[in-house]
Amino acid sequence: MARAPYVSFRVRAPDPGRRTTAQDIVDTVVDDVRSGRLPAGSRLPPVRVLEQQLGLSKNTVQSAYDELVARGLLEGREREGIFVAYASIDTDVSVPRVAEPPAFRARPAPPLHAGSFPHGVMSLSAVFVDPELLPRERLSECARAVLHARGLETFYDVHGYGPLREIIAERLRARGMRDVRAANVLLTTGSQQALDVLGRTLAEPRVAIESPVYPGAKLLFESHGHVVTGLRLDPFAGIPLDEWEARLSAARPALLYAVTSYQNPTGYSYTSHELERVLELAERLGFAVAEDDWGSDMLSGSEYRPMLRLLGGAHVLYVNSFTKKLLPSLRVGFLVAHESLIPALLAAKRLSTLGNAWFSEAIVAEFLARAYYDTHLQSLQRELDARYQSCLGILREQMPEGVRWTLPGGGPTLWLEVPRRVNLARLRADLAERRIEIEAAESAFTGEPHLHGFRVSYAFVPPDRLSRALATVGDLLREALS
């Protein structure tokens, strides 16, 4: 084992004229440890080195070190050397203090949900798929195969792992996007980085989004300094297209961001008529469209909806990700764009990350190449359909009058709309006491929320637990409404 490098170390003596003593060494080390100049874990020069540096006898240096070890400030580690003891941190050593507050001033943190929740708390609103439904074994098999076949790659490619881009392009062509080639596909760290890259690249900083919308998109565009225009989406009545037209005509955005299937957080899916009208508006008013298609792979087995990208061709930028379907921690997503945009998008991604983790991308490529993904999606869709039906049954049974919910037809989540009289913050707090979490949806809206409720995730919560949690929600709502 290579030894840790030792710190360079100058012994201070009160009288430079006289010879250094063991006490001088002790005093200097004590002083340096206390002041933080010698942090815990630093290796001190070996006795032999210090003895030569100071022109002292071996015994003098050794006795100083012995004394410091006895005081608990230093510790000897066999065959490694002598170190400032970690225990010294807990004694009377003061670490150099940073002025409060630090000179670095942070912008206010955007109110984005952390995506994780404390242990033992059940999240009713999580957008993830139940880990039990994820193909862990097959993913592990693919991870081993990647390492076995290729070993570790030395370089990264800002465009993303070539074989994965090839397979994604092939799959999209099979779904009707005939023009997509590997060169049009940019791999990203989840869809989030795809949105980030778009936000960084857009020349005119004006974006239109649905309201409510996935808050991570809204907050991201705002953090890039874009003017964000919200377009009201009513999941019970559909998209008020004339209202959208008026707002889009007035705001003149450069980009419309739309989640067309199982919209987050409402579960709404655009009708074909709405997709066509959006494209017609885009052409007439001259804005680009970014379609976030997190949902179409989770479509109910019996359903088909065209994607905007299919109807609008290369005018539509297309975003998708494996996060919610395969394994969240892989963080692999992608952006499909016209070839003229690729250099600018690559430059933005390079600035942001240089390149992404090759290993995750190679695992996904292997998973797709073995045709595991299709088998997995089929069983996922079947399970989501069954869970959706079961969730509807539970809601019909447990919810008091006046509570409504959207009917996504399948997919991962729906929206539960409660009467305005219910204080949502209070409901959240009461549920939190019972270790159930529902997400605060305020940051999903631009302006005053026109909906009053929260997302329910049957994809994440298994039916028996969902049933218990929704029974609790029902009880609390009855209480609030009585």
Ligand X SMILES: Cc1ncc(COP(=O)(O)O)c(C=O)c1O
Residues that bind ligand X (CB under 6 A): 127, 190-192, 214, 216, 259, 264, 292, 294, 321, 323, 333
Closest distance to ligand X from the beta carbon of 198 (Å): 12
**60/323 with CB nearer ligand X:** 323
Closest distance to ligand X from the beta carbon of 190 (Å): 2
**214/287 with CB nearer ligand X:** 214
302 DSSP assignment: T
**159/455 with CB nearer ligand X:** 455
**191/356 with CB nearer ligand X:** 191
Asked if 137 contacts 466 with a C-beta cutoff of 8 angstroms, the reply is no
Asked if 299 contacts 411 with a C-beta cutoff of 8 angstroms, the reply is yes
Around Cβ 12, how many Cβ atoms within 10 Å? 12
**42/321 with CB nearer ligand X:** 321
Closest distance to ligand X from the beta carbon of 324 (Å): 7
Closest distance to ligand X from the beta carbon of 292 (Å): 5
**253/333 with CB nearer ligand X:** 333
- Locus of tokens 């529902």: 438
Please tell me whether the peptide bond between 419 and the residue prior to it is cis, using omega within 30 degrees of 0. no
Closest distance to ligand X from the beta carbon of 88 (Å): 43
Structure tokens at 437: 């979490």
Closest distance to ligand X from the beta carbon of 217 (Å): 6
Q: Cα separation of 185 and 171, whole Å? A: 12
Q: Cα separation of 405 and 336, whole Å? A: 33
Closest distance to ligand X from the beta carbon of 62 (Å): 58
Closest distance to ligand X from the beta carbon of 111 (Å): 15
Contacts of 335 (CB under 8 A, 6+ apart): 185, 186, 188, 194, 197, 198, 317, 318, 319, 345
Cross-strand pairs, 288: 255
Closest-approach residue to ligand X (CB): 190
C-alpha closest to that of 471 among 425, 423, 431? 431
C-alpha closest to that of 213 among 450, 437, 416, 443? 443
**128/287 with CB nearer ligand X:** 128
Q: Cα separation of 53 and 11, whole Å? A: 10
**65/454 with CB nearer ligand X:** 454
- Secondary structure E strands in 295-438: 316-321, 333-336, 404-405, 413-417, 436-437
Asked if 281 contacts 245 with a C-beta cutoff of 8 angstroms, the reply is yes
